[in-house]
Structure 1
Amino acid sequence: METKKELSYFRLKLENYLSEHFPEMLGDKPFITARAGEALTTYCDAVAQGFSHPEAESMASEVLYRGLHFSKYDTLVSVLENEFEKELPSPLPERLSPILLKNKAVQSVFDKYELTEDFGASPEYEKLYTELTGTIVLLIEVNGLPTIGGENMT
């Protein structure tokens, strides 16, 4: 019974993280189940090897979040908040980002880059950021999206 409780703990922890940073992955139940199971195994093995619970928790978290450090969603929210602050006040960036993630033009911008774990700290990040900003400007103009303070609002 204890194992089931711990498994749901890691599942909830991962689902919470995904909802905040990778909402597009929330529907991937097989991934979530597998990753939560891996984290639980890591945690149990660490405790069995004599590591403290906080150390085991830290090791399990590394497994839980492996490959989930650079977020396209966070990047889009950041671009929208920083570059379109007046046109798209909060909470619009959080609401628009999942929609933009599905946009072919936005996807093709992300596809040009190798999005590694530490991509956010690389010089390429600035290029991606600039390109996303330009793409969003075009999407707003071409689609006549209503923005606060834009000519489209009546």
Structure 2
Amino acid sequence: MKTTSTPRTQEAPSCFEAALRAFLRRRHPELLSDNDFILRRSEDAAATFSRGRRDGHSVYEALELSRAVLYDGLRFSRYDTLFEVVSEWFPEVAPRRRPDFCLKLLPLCTQVFERYAPGDDFESTPAYRVLTTELIGIVQQNLDRYGF
């Protein structure tokens, strides 16, 4: 039986997968366990790269096209925003404890983040400052809860 899908090559998705995992580790650690998302996004990026090369784009241009697919909707990071707030406003949270502290607080911030429509350019909007002010309040309310 003939299949209509393109067979998965091992090298292409794995290099995109490694890049995405490294990016998620830094910017969206809460997404690292979503293997289906990571695999799907990596395969889409690899397919975009292949299509770009077939269409005559240079390697660099095809990589840029694939990166746009790989990181679509991920440039703004709830985790990064919270981490930045904690780092700037709460020096009593030791640097080595900030990542875990922020991961614990992130679910408590969901309702605040959902009141905004943060896209890839959200950090340059006036609403971003309002969001960070609200996050400062949540962190302040929860410092004692997590032992700081």
TM normalised by structure 1 equals: 0.86
- Take 2:77 and 2:26, find their aligned partners in 1: how far apart are those partners? 10
Q: How does 1:47-86 map to 2 (within 5 A)?
A: 47-85=53-91
In the alignment, is residue 23 of structure 1 matched against residue 26 of structure 2? Answer: no
- Take 2:11 and 2:71, find their aligned partners in 1: how far apart are those partners? 19
Q: How does 1:117-136 map to 2 (within 5 A)?
A: 117-136=120-139
- Take 1:5 and 1:19, find their aligned partners in 2: how far apart are those partners? 21
Deviates more, 1:74-83 or 1:52-61: 52-61
1:114 equivalent in structure 2: 117
2:16 equivalent in structure 1: 10
- Take 1:140 and 1:91, find their aligned partners in 2: how far apart are those partners? 16
- Take 2:126 and 2:41, find their aligned partners in 1: how far apart are those partners? 31
- Paired residue type of 2:131: L
Secondary structure (helix, strand or coil) at the match of 1:91 reads helix
RMSD over aligned Cα atoms: 1.6
- Paired residue type of 1:108: Q
Deviation, 1:102, is 2.2
Q: % of aligned pairs identical? A: 32
Q: How many residues align?
A: 142
* Residues 102-122 of structure 1: CA deviation (Å, up to 9, x unaligned): 23xx22221221222211111
* Residues 30-62 of structure 1: CA deviation (Å, up to 9, x unaligned): 111111111001100111112111111111011
CA gap of 1:8–1:125, structure 2 versus 1, over 3 A, is same
- Take 2:15 and 2:68, find their aligned partners in 1: how far apart are those partners? 15
Deviation, 1:2, is 9.2
Secondary structure (helix, strand or coil) at the match of 1:102 reads helix
- Take 2:76 and 2:37, find their aligned partners in 1: how far apart are those partners? 17
